[in-house]
Amino acid sequence: MTTIFAAAAIAILVVMAMALTRAFTAPTVYDRILGVNMFGTKTVLFIAVIGYLMGRPDFLDIAIVYALINFVGMVAVLRYFEYTAPIE
């Protein structure tokens, strides 16, 4: 069972690298924001999987807090770009 979670952790790391690539090379600001948001979401998943693999259920609390910070941060960034002209 742990090999499945280890494979999931590796797959999440690969997707996180793809999200960073999207965040750095996207053509528009909104695509970059989407890449950063996807990276944050995958980080939450990665923290949860690593917590399970290490036998530390308190990592789920850390993952939930990180998800809330990611959500509030994305709302703040999108509100900022809603009222200002994005630089492209």
Domain locations in the chain? Answer: 2-83
The residue written with tokens 């979401």 in the block is: 41
Residues 6 or more apart in contact with residue 75 via CB below 8 angstroms: none
Write down the pTM of the prediction.
0.85
Q: Tell me, what's the pLDDT at 72?
A: 96
What is the pLDDT tens value at each position of the chain, 88 positions in all?
A: 789 999 999 999 999 999 999 999 999 888 999 999 999 999 999 999 999 999 999 999 999 999 999 999 999 998 888 788 656 5
Joined tokens for residue 72: 């509030």
**The domain 2-83: what is its CATH number?**
1.10.287
